[in-house]
Amino acid sequence: MSLPAVTPVSPAELEARLRLHRLPELGPARFKKLLEAFGSASKAISAPASAWRSLGLPLACAEARRANDVRDGASHALAWLERPGQHLLMWDQPDYPALLAQISDAPPLLFVAGNPGILEKPQLAMVGSRRASRPGMDTAAAFSRSLAGAGFVITSGLALGIDAAAHQAALDVGGRTVGVLGTGLEKFYPQRNRRLADAMIASGSAVLSEFPLDAGPTASNFPRRNRIISGLSLGVLVVEASVASGSLITARLAAEQGREVYAIPGSIHHPGAKGCHQLIRDGAMLVETIEHILEALRGWQQLPLYGEAPSVTHPLLMLLHAAPHTSEALSVTSGWALPKVLAALTELEMEGRAVCESGRWFARVS
């Protein structure tokens, strides 16, 4: 991402980006290529088709720019954004989730219903089988309650089974949870979880999608959204999965993105445990209790060993006492990797020593 310094997006530029976003065969890489080549979506939209072809873009892309359905879809999205609790996050703007921005194919636009502020909080993904066993569902709920109670946002795909159990359990303890859809926000799927999604939005959590609002359930879009679930998160916990499960795709993407991968083992006789066992053989951390995850995350923070005196002032607190920072700015200033910064901020928040407001972190004065 080599765009110039951040400037606010004008209404005309926003409309142009929404039009680009609806074009066929235009994924994140091509979207960014256009913005970098022309300097803005507005200029890209008005450039000659020959200029698009010289960038290696398909003719169908260039020809669809001025189609009525593309214009109408962009106008509809602008109207959607006028309503309360409905937001659009853009990859080159400061309110875009900092951890997600680090992945190579970060979505250029994210439609968010609910509270976008929680996307800057430390998240843990929980994924697993849509046809989960009752013990698997109970395990997912127990881990989600504990992790949400420890201050983590629980992120999943709002699918049936393990996903739904994880989202619901986080809500049950007053925690926050993020649902990443494989459809547009106006074509919610699966409908059986619609009420759960509404409860998440109403309680200060969020549901989001990279797809246009009216994008329906297409098979290829569900594996694609998995990179967002892992990209938003410090790590991914796989609760129960077969060897052919989409959850293993999420785990593989997490590993490629430099995230932690955790897996809960099960009976050798249960097909739903085979995917987790495969992950453990491939290097995922075997998890039996929430402490295994919390200890792994604390490891990023370079906390003092048991019995040692803690340092008088936490390095991040020293920066926050000087001035409020976003988590991304703290990463740059401290030289710490962003996952380590987010894990440390969670600990400081739990200790009452730091607080996040409107995407910026402040030191609390005792």
Short-list 146, 131, 94, 85, CA closest to 112 = 85
Which of 25, 58, 82 is where one domain is finished? 82
What is the structure's pLDDT at 7?
75
Amino acid residing at 137: M
d(CA 223, CA 210): 13
CATH number, domain with residue 340: 1.10.10.10
Q: Residue 96: its pLDDT value, please?
A: 95
- Does residue 305 form part of some domain? no
| 162 and 273 assigned to the same domain | yes
pLDDT on residue 366: 57
Is the same domain home to 36 and 177? no
CB atoms within 10 A of CB 217: 14
- Residue 307 placed within a domain: no
- Put the strands of the sheet holding 177-180 in their side by side order: 86-90, 109-114, 206-209, 177-180, 153-156, 123-127, 235-238, 260-263, 285-286
Name the residue with tokens 């879809």: 73
Q: How many residues does the chain have?
A: 366
pTM above 0.95, yes or no: no
Is there a single domain that holds both residue 186 and residue 73? no
Detail the DSSP E strand segments found in the chain: 86-90, 109-114, 123-127, 153-156, 177-180, 206-209, 235-238, 260-263, 285-286, 354-357, 360-363
Whole-number pLDDT of residue 305: 28
pLDDT tens for the 366 residues of the chain, in order: 344 456 789 999 999 999 999 998 899 999 999 999 999 999 999 999 999 999 999 888 889 988 999 999 999 999 999 999 999 999 999 899 989 998 999 999 999 999 999 998 889 999 999 999 999 999 999 999 999 988 899 999 999 999 999 999 999 999 999 999 999 999 999 999 999 999 999 999 999 999 999 999 999 999 999 999 999 999 999 999 988 888 999 999 999 998 999 999 998 999 889 999 999 999 999 999 988 888 887 643 333 322 333 334 688 887 887 678 888 888 887 888 888 888 889 888 888 889 888 788 888 865
Whether 276 maps to a domain, the answer reads: yes
Residue 124's SS3 state is strand
Cβ neighbours for 123, distance < 8 A, ≥ 6 positions apart: 99, 152, 153, 154, 155, 178, 232, 233, 234
Question: Cβ(160)–Cβ(182) under 8 Å?
Answer: no
Give the per-residue pLDDT at 298: 67
Same domain, 293 and 257: yes
> Is residue 141 within 8 Å of residue 173, measured between CB atoms?
no
Q: Which of 299, 329, 352 is the last residue of a domain?
A: 299
Say whether both 196 and 257 belong to one domain: yes
Instruction: Indicate whether 122 and 38 sit together in one domain.
Output: no
The answer to whether residue 4 is domain-embedded is yes
Q: Does 277 lie in the same domain as 141? A: yes
| 3-class secondary-structure state, position 284 | coil
Domain count, the chain: 3
Which domain range does residue 357 map to?
Answer: 315-363
Q: Do residues 258 and 148 lie in contact, with contact meaning Cβ atoms separated by under 8 Å?
A: no
E strand spans, 290-359: 354-357
Q: Report the alpha-carbon distance of residue 314 to residue 308 in Å, rounded.
A: 15
Strand partners, 154: 124, 177
